[in-house]
Amino acid sequence: MSANALEIENTNVYNEGRSYSAVRSFCRFALWAYFRNCHVSVHDSVPTHSPMLVAGNHLNMVLDPAVLIVTMPHNRQLHFWALARFFKIPIIGRIFTAVGVLPVDTKTRSNAKLFESTVDCLGQDQAVAVFPEGTSYTAPHHLPFKDGLSWAAYEFLAQQHQRRQRGEPAPHSSITILPVGITYTTKDKWRSDVIVRYSETIQVGEQDRIQFAEDPKATVKQLTTRITESIESATINAPDWDTDNAMATARSILFGHRNGIQLNSYVKISQSLINILHPLMIPKLTELANLKARLLSFSRTTKLLQLSDQDIAVYQKQKITITAATLRLLRISLKLLIELPLFLPGIIIHSPVYLLGKAAESVEKFTESIAQDKIALALGLLIPLYSTLFYQIWRWMRFSFGGFLLGTFLIPTFVRYHMAMLDKRYDLLKELVAAWRIFVALTGGKSQRAEVEEAVELRKWCAANLKNMLLMLKDQGNEDAAYLIDQAQTFFQDGVAPAMD
């Protein structure tokens, strides 16, 4: 099953509280406003009603729980862990309890005490979500997974077994673990995309419990390894930043604009390129080391020029001249000017939100916190902003009932209209900025012009040699290369360009 733009199945399975329903609605609105697309795939094995532990990677602070809450299959309610000491704070404790957060006492040495609330929750056929890495991060690969989730699974089965031995009701002899991979195309950028993959479930049953009773630590480690491998297969993991950056550059060259790659293929395409550019592949192919170095050089060059790969690609098939750059700048400016009246009111009204979000991006030190900062600041401004707009409409209608209905209708309509108009014009604005930078570089003197021309030539070299490399690897039986060639048909349709010295 897949869904774009947050079109998720909406079927309630459990009777959840109003507080959790409100949190889900809030998260749905936040994700709809922040992301351009949300692609969700769900394996058929995900149960609708049974005790379940959900294990996810943790790239993006509070956005990760929000993504799980909104996209959870069958709309099942999720319960998250929080330190028990937070529940002693009256207001926070009430809020956490109302939305189903579970206290975890990390100071105790007893697993029964540590997972008491978790076991009780699972015993009521509920789903508990855990991030085994323990913290959010920004790295080219996932962090080591901790064993807490695995211990919780076996503690639940052990207590169910003990209850049956005492003759007490304990219907569960197995528990489901659902690995989920969350991938952000650019996690700190507004109007980027998110990909969520709910993988095949892992069933932990009676035989596993018996093995756990005989050797707890080894059995727990085995389960953690299975969970890790499943999440790895659903996410993008590079050995280092150089490989990750080279992959991103190669991906852009192969597939071009953001619409050139389908979100359901994004993870596999990225990981296939990482596998090819992996340091372990370098000793086998000396040409690969040169290609990777040039890809990284091109990536650094575009960052210094404050341009994207696609800005440079415009001039790959045509001579780069001041005339061409001027005409492109004028064409984009005219197009944006014609469409300006359609979205200018929304831009003006929302400008404080956009400016504050940009400021938050420059101030926040941790990449994994930028998105949550932007959303928090935006919502903090939007509530009084929309309230003021509603009040002005109602006041203009002399506080009549009709004015109240008009305001209630116009505000949501205005928000939807603004979001519908935004993406295409936002992309156009970025094109305009890039066209202006290229124009300035070409008219700013020989050195600046030479930098752009060198970037164009470097991209040509990378494109030509990337083609040759993938075709050669395919002939050698490399499955990753074969997959990439099959996916990048547009790139390969003109044949192989001659490699440049």
Q: Three-state SS across 262-302?
A: CHHHHHHHHHHHHHHHCHHHHHHCHHHHHHHHHHHHHHHHH
State mean pLDDT over 451-478: 95
Question: For the residues 252-267, what does the mean pLDDT come to?
Answer: 89
CA distance 269 to 470: 13
Do 482 and 475 touch, CB atoms closer than 8 A?
A: no
The pLDDT of residue 281 is 94
Tens digits of residue pLDDT in 48-66: 999 999 999 999 999 999 9
**Residue closest to 200 by CA, chosen among 225, 174, 226, 218:** 226
SS3 of residue 175 by DSSP: strand
Q: What is the pLDDT of residues 118-132, one digit of tens each?
A: 999 999 999 999 999
Mode of pairing for the β-strands spanning 102-104 and 78-83: parallel
Of 342, 361, 335, 320, give the one whose Cα is nearest residue 460. 320
User: Tokens for 62?
Assistant: 């509070």
Q: Nearest-CA neighbor of 253 among 325, 323, 302, 193?
A: 302
C-alpha radius of gyration, the chain, whole number: 26
pLDDT at 319: 77
Q: Residues 157, 51: contact at Cβ < 8 Å?
A: no
Q: What is the pLDDT of residues 64-95, one digit of tens each?
A: 999 999 999 999 999 999 988 888 998 988 88
130: β partners: 55
Element (H, E) at 11: none
Residue 81: beta bridge partners? 102
Contact 446, 268 (CB under 8 A): no
Residue reference for tokens 């029964």: 112
Q: What is the pLDDT of residue 109?
A: 81
Three-state SS string over 398-420 comes to: CCCHHHHHHHHHHHHHHHHHHHH
- What pLDDT does 125 receive? 95
> What's the token pair of residue 206?
């009676």
Among 3.40.1130, 3.40.1350, 1.10.3300, 3.90.460, what is the CATH number of 18-233? 3.40.1130
pLDDT of amino acid 494: 64
Could you give the CA distance from residue 384 to residue 410 in angstroms, rounded to a whole number? 16
Burial class (CB in 10 A: 0-12, 13-18, 19+), 377: middle
Instruction: Provide the percentage of residues in the chain whose pLDDT is more than 70.
Output: 95
What pTM does this model have? Answer: 0.91
Looking up tokens 């009040």 gives 391
- Average pLDDT across the chain, whole number: 91
Q: What are phi and psi of 255, to 5 degrees?
A: -115, -10
Half-sphere exposure for 295 (CA within 13 Å, toward CB): 28
Q: Please, what is the end-to-end C-alpha distance for the chain in angstroms?
A: 47
- Cα 11 from Cα 25, distance rounded (Å): 14
The pLDDT of residue 501 is above 90? no
Q: What are phi and psi of 83, to 5 degrees?
A: -60, 140
Q: What are phi and psi of 12, to 5 degrees?
A: -75, 135
Question: Tell me, what's the pLDDT at 11?
Answer: 36
